[in-house]
Amino acid sequence: MNATTHPTIADVAQRAGVSTATVSRVINKSGNVTADTIARVQAAIAALDYAPHSGARILASRRARTIGLITPTISDLFFTDLLRGIEQTVYEHEYTLLIHATHGRPYDDIIPMLPLNHHNTDGLIIFTNSVDDARLQKLHARHFPLVLLHRSPPAGTAMPCVTFENKDGAFQMTAHLIACGHRRIAFVSGPAGNEDAGWREQGYREALAVHGLAVDPALIVPGDFNAVVAATAVTHLLHTQPNIDAIFAADDESARGALAAIRQSGRRVPQDIALAGFDDSLLSQYLHPPLTTVRAPIEAAGRAAAAQLIQLIHTGHADPLTLLPTELVIRESCGWVLVNSEQ
């Protein structure tokens, strides 16, 4: 080694007057080493400011001590909560987390040649549809530990997955809107193919049915989990269906867009029209009026996914399905403030 390079385990061994095996033992706290030897080795490590080469460690030990997260995007209010849950759990178990955002590019184009493939990782958390079914199958066929987050396994394949009660949350919210006296309730849907979005719409439909209300297709407009898309759709909706009295948006982002569109049309929330969202994202409480929404346990979902994966890595088993409960958060956008509260 010289000034421009990094010290290796051999440098440490030499300086401590021991073999590389001993240095490896103290680093990994494996095997039996005298307290005295440990001290000498640690002193040498500190003096040299040595850090093990993780590539070499992974190669030699066939363990990466790392779990990977594949996600479509990272620029999302949703994502920060999710990540907090995952990180926390991962670190508690002394693993490291590697994150890769696909941004819509197929997994196969990016991962295979690069640092976040299955060689650097003891298992993967797959968020929504960042990886396609075929790739999932291949990974699974090799017994590579996988946990799905907000996404179902390919047909016929058993992979543990974690999600929350989208349908029930949407059902409850729709029921709440009905209890508030609303009848013409529109729904701003999410992206096609997104499972969360699908279940939320399903919950809306079922609640309507249970309460004897017909589902009017003209009242379901596309929002794509996106404020701008939702605003456009709601503006149009307000024109063609002027007599609606409530809007339930599939997520808080589209609720935000709906709010802007409603205000633009000269109507007031909640006096003229009620509005509800889904997620209870950071934004929702700062909207004006504060948004009534469904709280999604996003951070808990992250924790559960990480915990399931680590368990899978260690024991070979995990729960096939983890379903986390959602909860109504009644604020002001529906015009019913705490009517049901603690009496």
Taking the complex as a whole, the smallest distance from the CB of residue 50 to DNA amounts, in Å, to 7
Q: Which does 138 bind (CB under 5 to 8 A by kind): its own copies, DNA, none?
A: its own copies
- Helices (H) and strands (E) counted in the chain, each on its own, are 12, 12
Contacts (Cβ under 8 Å, ≥6 apart) of 202: 167, 170
Q: Which is nearer to its own copies, 219 or 313 (CB)?
A: 313
Say if strands 293-295 and 327-329 run parallel, antiparallel, or are unpaired. antiparallel
Residue 232 near residue 260, CB atoms below 8 Å: no
Please report whether residue 222 would count as binding DNA according to CB under 7 A. Answer: no
What distance in Å separates the CA atoms of residue 176 and residue 169, rounded to the nearest whole number? 11
Q: Does 239 bind its own copies (CB under 8 A)?
A: no
Residue 73 or 232: which CB sits closer to its own copies? 73
Using CB distances below 5 to 8 A depending on partner kind, what does residue 63 bind out of its own copies, DNA, none?
Answer: DNA
Spatial CA neighbour of 269 closest among 251, 244, 250: 244
317-to-21, 96, 167 alpha-carbon distances in Å: 33, 21, 27
Compute the distance between CA of residue 189 and CA of residue 298 in angstroms, rounded to an integer. Answer: 20
Please tell me whether residue 42 binds DNA under the rule CB under 7 A. Answer: no
Minimum gap (Å) between residue 38 Cβ and DNA? 7
114 binds its own copies (CB under 8 A): yes
Is residue 114 involved in binding DNA (CB under 7 A)?
A: no
- From 39, 43, 60, 339, residue interacting with DNA (rule: CB under 7 A): 60
- Using DSSP's 3-state secondary structure scheme, residue 180 falls into coil
Would you tell me the crossing angle of helices 166-179 and 195-210 to the nearest 10 degrees?
40
The smaller minimum CB distance to DNA, of residues 2 and 341, is found at: 2
Q: Which of 34, 243, 341, 343 binds DNA (CB under 7 A)?
A: 34
The structure tokens listed for 35 are 């307290």
The yes or no reply on residue 32 touching DNA (CB under 7 A) is: yes
Q: Residue 58 corresponds to which tokens in the numbers above?
A: 């992974």
Binding site for DNA (CB under 7 A): 5-6, 8-10, 17-25, 27-28, 30-34, 36-37, 50, 52-53, 56-57, 59-63
Binding site for its own copies (CB under 8 A): 3-6, 27, 49, 51-59, 64-66, 74-76, 80-81, 83-84, 87, 96, 98-99, 101, 103, 111-120, 138, 141-143, 256, 283, 286-288
